[in-house]
Amino acid sequence: MATVRQPRATTVAKRERLLDATEELMLEDGYAAVSSRSVAAKVGINAPLVHYYFPTLDDLFVAVLRRRAEANVARMAAALDADEPLRAWWAVASDARGSALFVELIAAANHREALREVVGEYAREVRAMQMTRLAELLPEYGLDPGELPPALVATGIQGLAFALVADQVAGHDTATDEAADGMARLLDRLEARRRDRGVPVTGRA
């Protein structure tokens, strides 16, 4: 049986530095600012070395997406299993940095087929996980899945969080603080209702 060679620690560290630099460029100046030269300059290396670790820009963008998406899938799974699932879900979905980065990745995906395919892959995975859990959770909140289908609730939470954070990051005056306060009050009521219905608390975050 062939032995699978693991990448050296120095290689992993350099890849991580390049991914970090790419994220910073995307957050500072948008995905269009990402090039082998701009990433190399951010890290302080020669541009050809970027292509040594990531042969194409598609490879670089996909690596950024996979790293963040995999972490986000894990965070979402933990949130859906928390003592206050909807509140924990909202905290993950409305994370400013993460959402701002995904805004840029989705924008880039509109022009890069390889990236678009991976975005779709993770979107389907997360939505399926959310809907499966919501089918169990909605009755605990006193909500009828027949009237409020899991697909609608999942789309509503994710869509609202995404739109709110996108406007905040862009500096648009669209009453985002008012919307965020309203969501906080709604979550307070829903989580209190769930507790009042006798749902056991396990001590999970």
Q: Using one digit for the tens of pLDDT, what is the confidence trace for 34-91?
A: 999 999 999 999 999 999 999 999 999 999 999 999 999 999 999 999 999 999 999 9
Q: Under 8 Å CB-to-CB from 11, ≥6 apart: which residues?
A: 53
In angstroms, the CA 141 to CA 192 distance is 9
The fraction of the chain above a pLDDT of 70, given in percent, is: 93
Greater confidence, 5 or 143?
143
What's the pLDDT score for residue 7?
A: 56
Domain count of the chain?
Answer: 2
Does the residue 77 lie in any domain?
Answer: yes
Q: Under 8 Å CB-to-CB from 148, ≥6 apart: which residues?
A: 138
What's the pLDDT score for residue 1?
A: 47
First and final C-alpha spacing in the chain: 43
Greater confidence, 23 or 203?
23
Q: What is the model's pTM? A: 0.84
Q: Using one digit for the tens of pLDDT, what is the confidence trace for 120-171?
A: 999 999 999 999 999 999 999 999 999 999 999 999 999 999 899 888 878 8
The residue range of the domain holding 30 is: 8-55
Question: Are both 67 and 154 inside the same structural domain?
Answer: yes
Question: Are both 15 and 93 inside the same structural domain?
Answer: no
Q: Using one digit for the tens of pLDDT, what is the confidence trace for 79-89?
A: 999 999 999 99
Does the residue 123 lie in any domain?
Answer: yes
Q: Report whether pLDDT(205) > 60.
A: no
* Residues 190 and 86 sit within 8 Å (Cβ to Cβ): yes
CATH of the domain at 23: 1.10.10
